[in-house]
Amino acid sequence: MELTFYGHACFSVVIKGKTLLFDPFITGNELAKDIDIKKIKADYILISHGHEDHVLDVEVIAKQTGAKLVSNYEIINWFAAKGIKNGHPMNHGGQWKFDFGTVRYVNAVHTSSMPDGSYGGNPGGFVIESEEGNFYFAGDTALTMDMKLIPMSCIINFCVYPIGDNFTMGYKDAVIAADFVSCERVVGVHYDTFDYIEINKEKAKEEFERSGKELILPRIGETISL
23 binds, among Mn ion, Ni ion, none (CB under 5 to 8 A by kind): none
Which of 140/165 has CB closer to Mn ion? 140
Which of 8/51 has CB closer to Ni ion? 51
Which of 38/196 has CB closer to Mn ion? 196
Tell me: does residue 23 bind Mn ion (CB under 5 A): no
- d(CA 117, CA 78) in angstroms, rounded, equals 11
Residue 219 makes CB contacts below 8 A (sequence gap 6+) with 5
- d(CA 128, CA 187) in angstroms, rounded, equals 15
Q: Could you say which of 8, 51, 190, 213 contacts Ni ion (CB under 5 A)?
A: 51
Q: How far is the CB of 87 from Mn ion (least distance, A)?
A: 21
The angle, 0 to 180 degrees and rounded to 10, between the axes of the packed helices 58-65 and 73-80 is: 70
Binding pattern to Ni ion, positions 160-189, x when CB under 5 A? Answer: ------------------------------
Tell me: does residue 8 bind Ni ion (CB under 5 A): no
Q: How far is the CB of 22 from Mn ion (least distance, A)?
A: 12
Tell me: does residue 140 bind Mn ion (CB under 5 A): yes
* Range in contact with Mn ion (rule: CB under 5 A) among 28-36, 47-55, 71-79, 208-216: 47-55
Scan residues 125-144 and list those touching Ni ion (CB under 5 A).
140
Which of 53/173 has CB closer to Mn ion? 53
Tell me: does residue 53 bind Mn ion (CB under 5 A): yes
| Whether the Cβ atoms of residue 137 and residue 128 lie closer than 8 Å to each other | yes
Which of 57/140 has CB closer to Ni ion? 140
| Whether the Cβ atoms of residue 86 and residue 69 lie closer than 8 Å to each other | yes
Which of 74/140 has CB closer to Mn ion? 140
Residue numbers at the binding site for Mn ion (CB under 5 A) = 53, 140
Residue numbers at the binding site for Ni ion (CB under 5 A) = 51, 140
